[in-house]
Chains A and B, each alone.
Chain A
């Protein structure tokens, strides 16, 4: 594990009887990075998060958070971590304030932070309301406030945008970005919302059937997956003339050409091909987003 790593796993695996939920997972999340784990239901995301938090014992491998091993006997590391696992929960008979106060005492955080986070997560109108009388969205806000209350250096969040309304989703996204950018907080999250992941994460790990298939940068992927597809009578010659006119990234696929790095240059592509005396059958701008890519990598809609 390098010094810049906040979370590192080595050969992390978990078996439930004959079911291998997670296989040999090697992850390294840098300090201050927002890393998202993306996968279908049952891909192993929650099991991975539970292993990171010491709630499930790995069958193989190990976890290090901020350079320390984490587990049921190594609980001191939780002082520097905040977490939200699966659905938001709280002590139902306690108010929002009491739930946060309870967490504050357990983490040994100075008083005053409870009011700060109630205010920050807009829970003021509900501060004295019992947790079992909160809406799902406000319960999610309470769980996020609890995760953030003790100023953790690492946040492990399972579906942080769950149950939030659109404004709440933007608010939490901005909050997590701010924590990461301005305070160097590392955020490790899992999400089903591909749109949310592509807007928020610096890096995305795609997991499928318990294996890490690929890690990618969503912003780079967006550029890579935006292209113009052309069908022409002579693909070889069309490729050559397009490259000569300055479009360097031209690939050929099944008799079609893909021209990358060509946003807004559709008219120019058509003109170059036609002026070279090549018949242009079709020209289609394509944006293959993270969702398409994710589905391709994990076996389509089946």
Chain B
């Protein structure tokens, strides 16, 4: 039954513009990162670029493969997390915005399958976006001739990216719940933006490692010095948040009155 539900959830994305827009958004990260790398590689030309050159210099970028991967991990930690929230709000919130929730919820299918299938769709979507990002980054890095590529650096760089993307995905389930609770897009997107801001602020404090939305920025080095490894406690906080968000979404679809 689950494969049937999953198939229909994928089917719902046909001709959906946001699929392509989001993939385009994923491809912006490596391109922008590549531009910064190029500026760092070519400081004379960077000087001609004025402000952009100054910013790239202030960020303390080094034009190497580890530097490029670090930049991409930061992008995934901030923009990627917001993008996953947008995708999740779309996948769940559209059922309310399009008034199709009342069609979906009278199917001979346990309602939790819809929640799980939608989260799998978000995961697949995010994996495709991250895959695209990695492939594009490889091309850009090679084209720029960035130094310092070894198999272990490549493996560590990709692993960091995947971990940041994975945490961003785990934090999508509260967004899913708020889409069902708010019956649309506004509440989940507002929540995602507020959490991103709070997460970056708290990341600079000692509490950051216990606040789910600070953990990716901390790990990516956006909110202060980069944490090389994630504490088990931090991962537990993320996993618990994911589980609570998923349980709340299932409860919302199962027990709340669907008056839309």
B1-37 to A contact mask, C-beta < 8 Å, 1/0: 0001101100110111000000000000000000000
Cβ distance B6 to chain A, nearest Cβ, rounded Å: 10
A108-147 to B contact mask, C-beta < 8 Å, 1/0: 1000000000000000000000100000000000000010
Cα–Cα distance between A89 and B258 once the two chains are bound (Å): 15
Say yes or no for A92: interface residue by CB 8 A criterion. yes
A79-111 to B contact mask, C-beta < 8 Å, 1/0: 101010111011111100010011101111000
- State whether A91 and B99 are in contact (beta carbons under 8 Å apart), knowing that A56-B258, A102-B8, A108-B4 are contacts in the complex: no
CB atoms of A105 and B106 under 8 A apart:
no
Complex interface: chain A residues within 8 A of B106 (CB)? 53-55, 78, 81, 83, 85
CB atoms of A89 and B11 under 8 A apart:
no
Cα–Cα distance between A70 and B98 once the two chains are bound (Å): 25
Complex interface: chain A residues within 8 A of B4 (CB)? 105-106, 108
A-B pairs with beta carbons under 8 Å apart, 15 shown: A54-B105, A55-B105, A55-B257, A56-B257, A72-B253, A72-B254, A75-B107, A78-B107, A78-B108, A89-B99, A93-B15, A93-B16, A94-B11, A105-B8, A106-B5
Size of A's binding interface in residues, CB under 8 A: 34
Cβ distance A127 to chain B, nearest Cβ, rounded Å: 15
Binding site for A on B (CB under 8 A): 4-5, 7-8, 11-12, 14-16, 98-100, 102-103, 105-111, 253-255, 257-259
Cβ distance B165 to chain A, nearest Cβ, rounded Å: 26
Cβ distance B118 to chain A, nearest Cβ, rounded Å: 14
- Residue of A whose beta carbon sits closest to that of B19: A93
CB atoms of A130 and B15 under 8 A apart:
yes
CB atoms of B108 and A87 under 8 A apart:
no
Complex interface: chain A residues within 8 A of B16 (CB)? 93
CB atoms of A79 and B108 under 8 A apart:
yes
Contacts A53-B102, A56-B258 aside, 10 further interface pairs with beta carbons under 8 A come to A55-B102, A76-B108, A83-B106, A87-B99, A89-B99, A94-B14, A106-B8, A106-B109, A107-B108, A108-B108
A52-79, CB < 8 A from B: 53-57, 72-73, 75-79
Binding site for B on A (CB under 8 A): 50, 53-57, 72-73, 75-79, 81, 83, 85-87, 89-94, 98, 101-103, 105-108, 130, 146
Cα–Cα distance between A105 and B4 once the two chains are bound (Å): 6
Cβ distance A220 to chain B, nearest Cβ, rounded Å: 34
- Residue of B whose beta carbon sits closest to that of A92: B98
Complex interface: chain B residues within 8 A of A105 (CB)? 4, 7-8, 11
Cα–Cα distance between A81 and B106 once the two chains are bound (Å): 9
Cα–Cα distance between A259 and B149 once the two chains are bound (Å): 103
Cβ distance B22 to chain A, nearest Cβ, rounded Å: 15
- State whether A57 and B99 are in contact (beta carbons under 8 Å apart), knowing that A75-B108, A105-B4 are contacts in the complex: no
